[in-house]
Chain A
Amino acid sequence: MPLALRFDGVEFAYPHGPPVLREIDLQVEAGEFLAIAGPNGGGKTTLLRLALGLEHPFRGRVELFGEPAERFHDRARLGYLAQRAQLGIQAPATVREVVAAGRSALKPFGRLGANDREAIDRAIDRVGLTAYATRPLTRLSGGQQQRAFIAKALVADPKLLALDEPIAGVDVEAQEALAELLARLHGELGVTILYVSHEFGAIEHVVERLVLVRQRIVFDGPPAQLPGVWHDPSHVHV
């Protein structure tokens, strides 16, 4: 299988700050469903940002589908769900309007065509929100809002779906529903999924591979092989 993502000897620190990531070597094949977990401040979100080319390593190399991540040419095909705190529109955007925004890099100007509208309908349908398509996001539950943003990430037919703390702020039932949704989407679409979370209980039964990060990668393998003491990622020691 071709590689979707490759970290080669990557080190990273924010300006004037201590090292955040050290000696990161990681290869993710296209079509893999990978969970990246670790304690708060352990560097997992930074790792995701490096993968998406939003940050530059000060040592080493990050490649996305064989190209340097910062210069990846097909960025419109990267689906991304930011942490909820970063999603800050105040106007009552409907599900359809939010999902349509995910199509803007593919179709920045002019009216949306029939294929764009079909892609929007399909993405909304995939996350089970067709009945809510014209409702403002603010009138939906936390779990439904997350689904809408996942539909936004899916609407450009992504090669890679990157989710940053997708279960933060949603209840346990919604977390389990989200895990099932992602497993189904992975099965149907074969898209590479990077799932970043400070805890992985809700997702470990659906991911193929788990990477625990605390500055370094301290575990990389199937969740079933994870030593019991590490099931609480805050216990991960360097």
Chain B
Amino acid sequence: MFEFEFMRLAFAAGAVVGLLAPVVGFFLVQRQMSLIGDGIGHVAFAGVAAGYLIGISPVWTALVAAILGAVVIEWLRAHRKAAGDQALALVFYTGIAGGVVLISAAGALNANLFTYLFGSILTVSRGDLLRIALLGLAALALVAVLLRVLLAVAIDEEGARVAGLPVPILNGVVSMLAALTIGISMRIVGILLIAALMVVPVIAAQRVAWSLRSTMGLSVAIGLGSVLSGLTVSYYANLPPGGTIVLTATAFFLVAAGVETVRGRL
């Protein structure tokens, strides 16, 4: 399958997303904000619709909308204007409603819209790959630099606050990273499915891991494995790549849950 350039581009872009999504998802899961990706994804949908309406590339308007959505969710949480799930619900529904209205106004309710909702990795261009690689590597570098303080906040947020770490800023960084991940990944697995790729590898890894380090390592391995094997299966079985990738991640979760059950009985 690698004789086709579109498959080479798909695998390269998928590798970046498979690496980045679980790394960012790790911190979302620890903060019990596993669904934030869905909330931001729905705002990104409004961004795609706005892009169609005003004639700008939907990729960029979706990225801006996702970051704005992340800022709003974090602000609502930090200022206790709404509990975590209520903040998510508010942004989630406003995003999807705004997207529907804007997409209708733009007259863009067509098949092209579906490539953003469910992914279209097989149409990734060299320009897409460059954008995904640059932004993805920048996000990974930021996590690497902030890893120790992000872990400290995940382990004990109040303790980190007492010790003088800038907890609201670090929480904002995690939300922004989630927005960035969604913005650059929507061409791969789609706005509606990217949140799964951030969360499912992490909750699968937690079942069998023995430390934070191993949880993060296994999450990345499962994320990467899901994308690469999902793409392979989708190519040979003629299945939609986004859905196949996420179902592969779910299969990894089932295997991990099985291993945990067997280990618990030994």
Chain B residue numbers with a CB within 8 Å of A234 are none
Q: Are B211 and A82 in contact (CB under 8 A)?
A: no
Asked if A3 lies at the interface with its beta carbon under 8 angstroms from chain B, I say no
A82 to B164 Cα, complex, angstroms: 15
Asked if B133 lies at the interface with its beta carbon under 8 angstroms from chain A, I say no
Asked if B30 lies at the interface with its beta carbon under 8 angstroms from chain A, I say yes
Bitwise, B190-232 to A at CB < 8 A (1) or not (0) is 0000000000001000100111111100000000000000000
Asked if B131 lies at the interface with its beta carbon under 8 angstroms from chain A, I say no
Interface-located stretch among B41-49, B65-73, B102-110, B152-160: B152-160
A101 to B161 Cα, complex, angstroms: 12
Q: Are B156 and A152 in contact (CB under 8 A)?
A: yes
Chain B residue numbers with a CB within 8 Å of A93 are 155, 211-212
Q: Which residues of chain B from 15 to 40 have any CB-CB distance to chain A below 8 Å in the complex?
A: 26, 29-30, 32
Bitwise, A153-164 to B at CB < 8 A (1) or not (0) is 100100000100
Asked if A60 lies at the interface with its beta carbon under 8 angstroms from chain B, I say no
Asked if A76 lies at the interface with its beta carbon under 8 angstroms from chain B, I say yes
B contact residues, range: 20 to 34
Q: Are A97 and B211 in contact (CB under 8 A)?
A: yes
Asked if A107 lies at the interface with its beta carbon under 8 angstroms from chain B, I say yes
Q: Are B215 and A80 in contact (CB under 8 A)?
A: no
Q: Distance (Å) between the CB of A97 and the closest chain B CB?
A: 5
A136 to B215 Cα, complex, angstroms: 11
Asked if B148 lies at the interface with its beta carbon under 8 angstroms from chain A, I say yes
What 6 A-B pairs have minimum CB-CB distances, sorted nearest first? A75-B164, A105-B163, A104-B152, A80-B162, A91-B215, A101-B152
B: residues with CB less than 8 A from A are: 26, 29-30, 32, 145-146, 148-149, 151-152, 154-165, 202, 206, 209-215
A: residues with CB less than 8 A from B are: 52, 54, 75-76, 78, 80-82, 86-94, 97-98, 100-102, 104-105, 107-109, 134, 136, 149, 152-153, 156, 162
- Given A80-B159, A93-B155; 16 other pairs, CB 8 A cutoff: A75-B162, A76-B164, A80-B162, A86-B157, A89-B30, A91-B206, A92-B212, A94-B210, A101-B159, A102-B152, A104-B149, A105-B152, A108-B148, A134-B211, A136-B210, A152-B159
